[in-house]
Structure 1
Amino acid sequence: DYMAGPNHTLPTSGTARFSSPLSVDEFVKKYQFTYYTPKALEGVADDIAMFARMEGLEAHARSALVRGGKV
């Protein structure tokens, strides 16, 4: 998800200052799916691992490398 770009923005208490009241969207469960072909994942595995390590997520980095066939 680092390279594909799904939204990781979480709502915070400060959101109330500029957002609207409740709407139908508040009650709809939304999903985001990201899919890489094995070849595409192999091409970005090192970059994903780099971003994960920058955030201190070593297990995520290793997972990307294993899934990308780098380990």
Structure 2
Amino acid sequence: PAGAPAGAAGPPARPSAYREPEPPPIAPEDDIPAEDDPDLDESVLSGHDLIVRELGATVIEEIANE
């Protein structure tokens, strides 16, 4: 248009968003930790014991659900 300022022909072009490529899928049999893995924790804790260990929780009172 005649009255439009120079460079205002339309909305500015948006750069396309860069995305990291998806990692290749890993088969479950290939996702087994090595026996000497230092991060492998042999202790199996869940529930109450896990919360106490990981969060340093203190049990105030235990209620037995019957």
Structure that is richer in helix per residue: 1
Higher RCO structure (Cα 8 Å, ≥6 apart): 1
TM tier relative to shorter chain: under 0.3
The two structures have a TM-score, normalised by structure 2, of: 0.21
Rg bigger for which structure? 2
